[in-house]
Amino acid sequence: MRSRAWGGTAAVVLGALLVTGCGGGTKEDAADTGPGATGSGAHPVTVTDCAGAATTFAKAPKRIVTSNAASLELLLRLGAGDRVIGTGFPPGKGTLPGALDAQARKVEVLSRSVIPKEKLLGSGADLHLDTFADMGAMGGGGMGDAPTEDEFKAAGIQHIYLKSTACAARSKKPVTDLSGVESDITTLGAVTGTSARAKELVAGMREKTDAVGKAIGNTPPRSRPSYFFFDYDAGTKQPTVVCDRQVANAVITLAGARNAFADCAGDYRQVGWEDVIAKNPDWIQLGVRDRGSAAANEKAFGEAEQWLKATPATKGLKAVKAGHFLRIGSERTTIAGVENADTVREIARTLYPGKVA
């Protein structure tokens, strides 16, 4: 199946469909080439998918469709937002900071969820930037009516991925830093001719994560608190956890915590509540997906917290009894973006009060 993740609206995707993970910046992932990929902004630029298949850009794209809010936000931050002609899974009003929100409102919403194949192929785009899993390159089929690569080619649309998210299931080692996300930003900068801005964004991310690392660096691994990302919207009957190939694992690790499920190899996995009880985490992040407004998000956070407090299987957990909850949105933790670094800092400030500025 080809998974489609969520952007600015709530969605419930269970089990194997939860593949909005992050690659780890491994040598296998860092396969982009061409003058622009080195930061010069020159073309041609060649990028690859999860299986190594190449896409070459003779010039910067002018009409881009993004699959969701995450890929849209990256292009806005790079200064290429004026080239985005449509998006799926749009960001909720006010959920992007400052001027980015106003820019996002100008982008045509092609779908509140997955963009229908006919609409995407007929959009007039010359590039589709896809945040979602590259299942075709992994031997999978499409979910619903997702276009094939041949159909993209026939429509004159080049198709590339945010590899740190889309290639998570193929990663061959745990993801413990944001190098894969940084590589995506650098690559997008090369493709769109905004390499200088991409360099600034990456530098800003590293400044934040380096500062956190310096502040908590002398904390022994065993003294670092255990941390459970509670994906409330994935369903409560059987929890879906983030494993060691997911970008959330890197975020949690860089923040000085221990992902309670870092011992599972992959991006996501469904477990039983007995497994969560056995881990008995020190802290729980209420991983709620964007509902479209601050008020709606707070309501959802409250519902997730109340569920943990009222459910017999979870109310006795150490974190629940201590009220150790973090209300941090799911997307900025599990999907590649500049705000991954902000999430690292926010988690670290909570877990290490007084240490992290």
List pLDDT tens digits, range 136-180.
443 333 345 789 999 999 999 999 999 998 898 888 899 999 999
Helices 247-254 and 339-351 meet at what angle, rounded to 10?
Answer: 40
Identify the sign of the CA torsion 126, 64, 50, 18: negative
Q: Is the pLDDT reported for residue 21 higher than 70? A: no
Element (H, E) at 84: strand 84-87
Average pLDDT value for the chain = 86
Tell me the backbone φ, ψ of residue 34, rounded to 5 degrees.
100, 160
Q: Is the pLDDT reported for residue 14 higher than 50? A: no
Q: Is the pLDDT reported for residue 294 higher than 90? A: no
**Least confidently predicted of 50-54, 187-191, 224-228, 315-319:** 50-54
Given a contact cutoff of 8 angstroms between Cβ atoms, the answer to whether 250 and 176 are in contact is: yes
pLDDT digits (tens, 9 = 90+) for 80-122: 999 999 999 998 888 888 899 999 999 999 999 999 999 999 9
Q: CB under 8 Å to 355, separation ≥6 — which residues?
A: 215, 216, 348
What does each C-alpha distance from 181 to 35, 160, 205, 269, 345 come to in angstroms?
Answer: 20, 15, 10, 22, 16
Residues 82, 86, 90, CA angle at the centre, nearest 5°?
A: 105
Give the span between the Cα atoms of 304 and 287, in whole angstroms. 9
Could you write out the DSSP letters of every residue in 125-172?
-SEEEE-S---GGGT---STTPPPHHHHHHTT-EEEE-HHHHTGGG-S
What local confidence, expressed as pLDDT, does residue 29 receive? 40
What does each C-alpha distance from 275 to 105, 121, 154, 232, 244 come to in angstroms?
Answer: 42, 44, 48, 16, 16
Regarding predicted confidence, which is higher, 290 or 322?
A: 322
Residue 296, token pair as written in the block: 């709606």
Strands of 283-286's sheet, edge to edge? 258-259, 226-230, 283-286, 325-326
Residue 292, token pair as written in the block: 């479209």
Q: Is the pLDDT reported for residue 10 higher than 70? A: no
Residues pairing with 127 in the sheet: 64, 158
- Amino acid occupying residue 164: S
Give the span between the Cα atoms of 227 and 324, in whole angstroms. 10
Given a contact cutoff of 8 angstroms between Cβ atoms, the answer to whether 142 and 111 are in contact is: no
- Please choose, from the candidates 64, 102, 111, the residue with its C-alpha nearest in 3D space to the C-alpha of residue 83: 64
Q: Is the pLDDT reported for residue 76 higher than 70? A: yes
Q: CB under 8 Å to 343, separation ≥6 — which residues?
A: 251, 255, 328, 332, 333
Q: CB under 8 Å to 219, separation ≥6 — which residues?
A: 256, 352
Residue 284, token pair as written in the block: 């729980």
Residue 68, token pair as written in the block: 């969701």
